[in-house]
Amino acid sequence: MNEKPLTKSQLSNALAEKAGVTKATAKTAIDAMASIAYEEVKAKGEFTIPGIGKLVISNRSARMGRNPATGEVISMPARKVLKFRVAKACKDSVLG
C-alpha cells in the first residue's frame, strides 16, 4: 500500500496495452476525458465516469473556524468546492 500512484505516462501505457491502441492515442484519450470532465462540471455542476464515480460541485456554507497556529477564532466564508463521489460498483470491486 506504500506504492506511489500511477503517473500520467504509466496510466497511458497501461490503457494502451489494455485497449490495444498506441500510447499516443491513449494519452490523447486521457487528455480529452479530463477536458470534457472540466467543461461538464463547469456547465452542469457534475460529471459522471460510469463505474468509477462522479465529480460534483458542492456549496459549503459560511462557518466559524479556528487558526491552528494561534487558536484565534476566524470566520470562514461560504464557497464552492469540488467533490468526488465514488460509485457503488467501484467500492464493491475494490473493497469486496
31-78 pLDDT per residue, tens: 999 999 999 999 999 999 999 999 999 999 999 999 999 999 999 999
Q: Are residues 38 and 54 in the same domain?
A: no
> Taking the model in full, what pTM does it have?
0.77
Residues 77 and 54 in one domain: yes
Domain presence at residue 93: yes
Q: Please identify which residue in the block is written with the cell numbers 455542476.
A: 45
User: Which residues form the domain of 29?
Assistant: 7-44
Kindly provide the residue ranges of all beta strands, DSSP E only, lying in the chain, ordered along the sequence: 46-49, 53-60, 63-66, 73-76, 79-86
Q: Is there a single domain that holds both residue 12 and residue 26?
A: yes
Q: Are residues 53 and 91 in the same domain?
A: yes
Short-list 5, 40, 9, CA closest to 26: 9
Residue 1 in any domain: the answer is no
| 83 and 60 co-located in one domain | yes
Residue 96 has pLDDT above 90, yes or no: no
**Type of residue at 19:** A
Report the alpha-carbon distance of residue 47 to residue 52 in Å, rounded: 11
